[in-house]
Amino acid sequence: MIRFNSAPLTGGEAVYMQQAMANGKLCGDGPFTKKCSEWMKEHFQVNHCYLTTSCTHALEMAAYLCDIQPGDEVIMPSYTFVSTADAFVLRGAKIVFVDIHPETMNIDERLIEDAITEKTKAIVVVHYAGVSCEMDEIMEIAKRHNLRVVEDAAQGVYAWYKGKALGTIGDFGCYSFHETKNYTMGEGGALLFNDIEYRDRAEILREKGTDRSRFFRGQIDKYTWVDYGSSYLPSDLNAAYLYAQLEKAEEINERRMAIYNYYHEHFECLEQAGAVIRPFVPEYCKHNAHMYYLKLKDLETRTAFIDYLKEHDIMAVFHYIPLHSSAAGKRFGRFHGEDVHTTKESERIVRLPMFYNLTDEQVKYVTDTVLNFKGF
């Protein structure tokens, strides 16, 4: 069976994890956590970067730092993972969903302004498949209306928009290092931001509401409970695993791109025949091959296609059930405008196996099997 996903393994992970064990510092903010955040600050050109226990938690931190109050509204696409919304719902926000661009599955920035009300506090964008949203336009809208912009860049690590790393363009960027993402630590994430104004509150929030970070910097001589907080620090053991992957970031990226390009070239004929639609990447976006998907004619074709691949020992998956049509989405949010693309496109999309350790042979087998499907 060819799996849909498998956590990348580059060889250095076990060495660094043993080092972390030898260091005798398994809790958060140990040497490997520092190495990871320094690496990201340097490579992604961002002032502040904090490793977290997940992207969900990074989003929760962002929601808190945006000062979301009960009843505030937050605009985002409905076509996303639940955490994008949940993090804001936890702070009492009302979610206002808007439609997506069918070409990229990203939020349609032209629909944002009409969804803004007096209660709107933030815009949350999701860089689907590591392809950037239209950030220039979105930042311009946010500026005009004095709104915060949070980038759910869970899928956008090591991807760029007009030369800027995804996750470093808005007020806050949130990364995921879950095992299904390009770089992993099992479960984990990061919160990124540039404005030093957020630093103290972010550190306090992440350190159980204490000013422990200031204490470690030698700015105060004891630490105490100063504000609301939680515990968002991952173990240094997990950070050790991640650091091995960050050191090989380019290699992992190249391998994923090679798989992506192989699929993309070989499915061009299907697109020309009108059987599928392939992913689209605007020329000013440098994506990271987070996923390879195809869009089929409709839900029925997709179901038959996934069954066919399964019969041939290939796992292919679909996602997301649009949030506005879920039970919680109805309770905590509303769809602004018309759902022209979200539901329709979400029913057509299918993701093919895509991970670092997928072999050339397996990629070829998946490709040939797809090309032999008779039900398009």
Ligand X SMILES: *Cc1c(COP(=O)(O)O)cnc(C)c1O
Binding site for ligand X (CB under 6 A): 54-56, 80-81, 83-84, 126, 152, 154-155, 176, 178, 189
- Provide DSSP, 196-263: GGGHHHHHHHHBTTB-HHHHHTTSSSS--B-S---B-PPPHHHHHHHHHHHHTHHHHHHHHHHHHHHH
Strands 164-165 and 160-161: antiparallel
Nearer to ligand X by Cβ, of 56 and 369: the residue is 56
Nearer to ligand X by Cβ, of 150 and 259: the residue is 150
**Nearest-approach distance from CB 229 to ligand X, in angstroms:** 19
Nearer to ligand X by Cβ, of 155 and 342: the residue is 155
Nearer to ligand X by Cβ, of 106 and 369: the residue is 106
**Nearest-approach distance from CB 205 to ligand X, in angstroms:** 17
**Nearest-approach distance from CB 351 to ligand X, in angstroms:** 12
Nearer to ligand X by Cβ, of 152 and 236: the residue is 152
Quick check: 347 and 302 in contact, CB under 8 A? Answer: yes
- Provide DSSP, 251-305: HHHHHHHHHHHHHHHHTHHHHHTTS-B-----TTEE-----EEEE-SSHHHHHHH
Closest CA to 242 of 24, 28, 2: 28
**Nearest-approach distance from CB 126 to ligand X, in angstroms:** 5
**Nearest-approach distance from CB 206 to ligand X, in angstroms:** 15
Nearer to ligand X by Cβ, of 160 and 320: the residue is 320
**Nearest-approach distance from CB 153 to ligand X, in angstroms:** 8
Closest CA to 174 of 79, 65, 58: 58
**Nearest-approach distance from CB 319 to ligand X, in angstroms:** 9
Cα–Cα distance between 237 and 226 in angstroms, integer?
28
Q: How far is CA 155 from CA 17, 177, 344, 363, in A?
A: 25, 9, 22, 21
Nearer to ligand X by Cβ, of 54 and 253: the residue is 54
Torsion angle of alpha carbons 176, 40, 27, 11, nearest 10°? 80
